[in-house]
Amino acid sequence: MSRYLIRRFLFLLFVLWVVSILTFLIFVKLPPGNPAVRAAGRTQTPETIAAAKAALGLDKPVWVQYWRFAKGLIPWPGFFLNRQVYFSWSNFVPVRQQIVGRLPVTIVLAVGAGIIWLLMGIPIGVISAIKRRTLADRAGMLFALFGVSAPQFWLAYVLLFVFWYKLHLAPSSGIPIGMGVWSAVLHGRFILPWITLALTYSAFYVRILRSSMIETLDEDFVRTARAKGLSERRVIIRHALRVSITPVITLLGIDLGYLLGGAIIVENVFNLQGVGQFSIQALFTNDFPAVMGVTVLAALFIIVANLVVDVVYAFLDPRVRYT
Amino acid sequence: MKRHARLLALAASIALAAAACGGGGGGNKSNQTPQAGLKKGGVLRIGLASDVHQALDPGREYYTIGWEFLKCCLARTLLAFNFLGPNEKGNDLAPDLATGLPESSSDGLTWTFHIRPDVHYAPPLQNVTVTAQDFIRALMRVADSKVAASYPFYYSAIQGFDDFSAGKAKTISGLSAPDPATLQVRLANPVGYLPYVFTLSASSPVPPSPSDASAPLGVATGHDQNYGQFVVSSGPYMWKGADKIDFSKPADQQAGPPGFQAGKSYVLVRNPSWKASTDPLRKANIDEIDVTVGGTVADLTKKIEAGELDTMDALPAPEGIRDYATNPDLKPFIHSDPTFGTWYINMNTAMPPFDDIHVRKAMNWVVDKSGLLRLVGGSIQGPIATHAIPDSMVPSLKGYDPYSTPNHSGDAAKAKQEMAQSKYDTNHDGVCDASACKNVLMVIDQTDPQPKMSALIQQNIEQIGISVNMKQFQTTTMYTKCETATERVPTCPSEGWYADFADPYAFVTGLFSSVSLTPSCCDDSLMGATTAQLKEWKYSNTTPTPSIDDQLNACVPMLGAQREQCYANIDKALMENVVPWVPYRFANQVVITSKRVQNYHLDASTGWISLSQLALAGGA
């Protein structure tokens, strides 16, 4: 197990390194235009542009420039998202400060939605699998089709229009100034965003779990369990579901990792001031330090989530062994 | 000079398709009569779909809405305006932190300002009064290259300003404070626009540092790019919690106020040091201004209708405009007022086929301006532009239309007559037949309705033989491409330009003077480019482009009616002798407000809602 973890950790570092190279190329070296011109402000002279170039380290060799950027990815005090490099060109505050301030909103959004879509997706997937070709199965698949097909922004607007604007059953978008994240949760400010995410994500889970479960129910060990006289409930939940759920866990890890990097559409439509909203603001204003910070953070979340998922496999599926 | 056009373009375009829907006209001409019985108090709630540009740093902020927060609320200046619309004397200079308009010496080189006594800064510097030295400090900050201020060129005429900026001097020799209540400004050469530059927030006073009286930039020391949150207010409001800022600490250890959450929210509360008796211009009816950043235009519109917000920075979506234009209950809450802006098709005078004046004139004849206005939303968005400088700045130009066509719909016959004289029309049939007219690169804004407008222009100019290769970009990228000489873009039809202040100097200099041929901005038509510059930028035609530098320079020292006439002549020279543009719309600012908002006025000096005049129904 420990050898496996070390190997995965080294792989994590390798992937992060690749991401850092790509991010550096995409956001520092490839964009048309000179970042120094952008940083020099509106009124420029060759001298001010040269000064900005020096301040940004763009007058140094490429490998020095890369190191300046890459050391901001090392999770070590003074290095990680350091303000010398990761300083917003739009808000003029350290990117780390922006991300840290916004992360709680994104975490609450992602985790809350994750819980809801699991609570929706797992039962529907299981019922669809064990009651194949019945009305319940068709209804489950219809739900899945709707969730997969409905664009998130459309669903978000429809929910807002119906439940806030027309029926006044839910609060409007955003978190009022001065209201903390937990208070916002208690005031129902996350309900519609959670539902929007959950409806779209749970649809995938229903389909995956259904097919995985159908496959598992035909396995020998399930037949054996039934032959031993276990109750159908015990067979389904303790044996079949435990094995079938591994692809769901994989997906959950990736989805949560992805969402922690920012649920861009939902955060924007519901004006939740999370990491996703920050990244889109940064993109629109060509705020490259902020975009780089968010990109790398999102990559980190996805990679770590994958690692966690791999470890969790062992506890869920007795057939998995780490070597 | 080109303040905020980009975001306005974005904001406008988001809504514009409303155009056809809302139809022409409409729009409340603002409830401009001050209402009796306005109450003080209440919290004004503003939603910004886009954030301010430079984190509200007075020296750097360059966005309509950012300017309004500074001018209304935080950063008083020596001179100002009455914070009303262009039709309400909003262009007339008025003393603000000065006791009166400045006295000018007979040679126009020395200007003297007397500072209003007993004006105190906001806490934590409530015991500090505004003095002449604070303005010198502000201008030193503008000149400091590390700050990268947005418009230092306006102050270049001050003796020694450029030397200080270049690091050749330790002070600005043209600025002196003979006593704490007197500021003397000595110019290197006379400039008629000088009083106006003391209305800009960059010149707002910067108090001394409480821990280091010798710090040249006072409390702004160390805040080269983020002074916005540390501004010590001289206006009626301050950032919530600003009174807790500890200026005795080094700049990087100072904590910003909780009322300033960059990119998320801004909260302004009353400045206890402010006294109405020392500020005749601002009503300051509202107790608090809450600003949230983010959200979609559609959502913000619904919130205004539902009374959760009072206004926003963008126009509503098309259906929103339609609601406001047709619903009698809502109509009083959509406001449309003239600004100092013009929308135009830019033509690069160094790029074929626009290096030929006959082609540029033919463009002016053939474009269907009323069609463009329809697509953009109708007359609520402003009247058709028949020349460059807005009528609101040079009223004597009203009615001047050198390319008059029936209903402003374009005249293909006249366009062909003009084109026939061009070297690019070899058989002189009025249709360009040279390869230079084929596949001409046209860089446009991708935001609706600009692509539709560009398609109409494309159709129009095909009649004179010009075909285009249209490339769409996000608003900011579009401006960057069009403004960068080395991009060699022949034409850009999605550009807008807004002056920084009511003087025409602020409109024309940045656009048409060769001094604006900087690496990135803003002489997009490349007027006044030399052969050497064109070679450096790799243009195939290196013939120097037309220049009006001499005429521009001649207007600078003039005053009064002579000055207005001088700029009127410049407009005529532009339209008839140079023709770098097809102007098609003088910009109106369109704003919606909630039903709570009373005493709405446009602030001509910023082009947005006059926050200092607003009141809320019922007050608190």
The band of B21, judged by pLDDT with boundaries at 50, 70 and 90, is very low
pLDDT digits (tens, 9 = 90+) for A285-302: 778 888 888 888 888 888
Q: Taking CB atoms and an 8 Å cutoff, what residues of chain B touch A278?
A: 263
* Model pLDDT, residue A78: 82
pLDDT tens for A15-63 read 888 888 888 888 777 765 666 776 666 666 777 777 777 777 778 888 8
B486 in contact with A, Cβ within 8 Å: no
Global ipTM: 0.86
Comparing A82-86, A124-128, B153-157, the range with the smallest average pLDDT is A82-86
Q: Which amino acid is at B61?
A: E
Q: Which of B83, B127, B69, B39 is nearest to B268 (CA)?
A: B69
Contact (CB<8Å) A43/B261: no
Mean pLDDT calculated for residue range B288-293:
96
Interface test with B, best of A88, A91, A269 (most B CBs within 10 A): A91
Q: Where are the beta strands (DSSP E) in B395-467?
A: 440-445
pLDDT in tens, B370-405: 999 988 888 888 999 999 999 989 999 999 999 999
Amino acid at B290: D
Q: Rounded distance, CA B609 to CA B285, Å?
A: 14
State the nearest Cα–Cα gap between B509 and chain A, in angstroms. 14
- Among B616, B610, B620, CA closest to B594: B616
Q: Half-sphere exposure (CA, 13 Å, Cβ side) for A62? A: 6
Residue A174 burial by Cβ neighbours in a 10 Å radius (0-12, 13-18, 19+): buried
Chain A contact present for B301, CB below 8 A: no
Q: What's the pLDDT score for residue B369? A: 97
> Within 13 A of A172's CA, how many CA atoms are on the CB side?
17
User: Which of B343, B98, B280, B294 has the alpha carbon at shortest distance from B198?
Assistant: B98
How far apart CA B138 and CA B118 sit, in angstroms, is: 19
- Compute CA distances A140 → A128, A157, A212, A245, A251, whole Å: 6, 24, 15, 17, 19
Neighbours of A303 (CB within 10 A): 19
Mutate to test the interface with A, among B61, B520, B533, B594 (most CBs of A within 10 A): B520
pLDDT score for A16: 83
Helix axes B5-16, B318-326, angle to 10 degrees: 70
The predicted pLDDT at position A44 comes to 67
pLDDT tens digits, A181-228:
999 999 999 999 999 999 999 999 999 999 999 999 999 999 999 999
pLDDT at position B9, please?
Answer: 35
Interval B220-236 mean pLDDT: 95
For residue B262, give the chain A residue with the closest CA: A91
Which DSSP state fits B524? T
Query: Do A90 and B62 count as a contact with CB atoms less than 8 A apart?
Result: no
C-alpha–C-alpha distance, residues B245 and B258, integer Å: 10
What pLDDT, in 10s, does the model give residues A99-130?
999 999 999 999 999 999 999 999 999 999 99
Say which residue the tokens 């790019």 belong to: B225
Task: Name the band, by pLDDT with cuts 50, 70 and 90, for residue B10.
Answer: very low
Backbone φ, ψ for residue B269 (5° rounding): -125, 170
Q: Which chain A residues touch B if contact means CB-CB below 8 Å? A: 33, 37, 39-49, 51-52, 88, 90-93, 98, 101-102, 157, 160-161, 165, 172-174, 177, 268-269, 271, 273, 277-278, 281, 284-286
Alpha helices in B89-199 (DSSP H): 132-143, 161-165, 194-197
Bridge partners of B112, per DSSP, are: B103, B184
Average pLDDT over residues B23-50: 69
> Closest Cα to residue A19, out of A308, A307, A301?
A301
| pLDDT band with cut points at 50, 70 and 90 for residue A76 | confident
Give the pLDDT confidence of B324-346 residue by residue, as tens digits. Answer: 878 888 888 999 899 999 999 99
Instruction: Please give the full DSSP string across A60-103, using - where no structure is assigned.
Output: S-HHHHHHHHHGGGS-STTTTT-TTTSB-TTT-SBHHHHHHHHH
Q: How many CB atoms sit inside 10 A of residue A62's CB? A: 11
Q: What integer pLDDT is reported at residue B277 of this predicted model? A: 96
| Helix/strand/coil for B366 | helix
Size of interface A-B (CB pairs under 8 A): 108
Nearest to A172 among B294, B303, B480 (CB): B303
Q: Does residue B452 sit at the A interface (CB-CB below 8 Å)?
A: no
Q: How far apart are CA B353 and CA A39, in angstroms?
A: 34
Q: Could you report the per-residue pLDDT of B523-555, keeping only the tens digit for each? A: 889 999 999 999 999 999 999 999 999 999 999
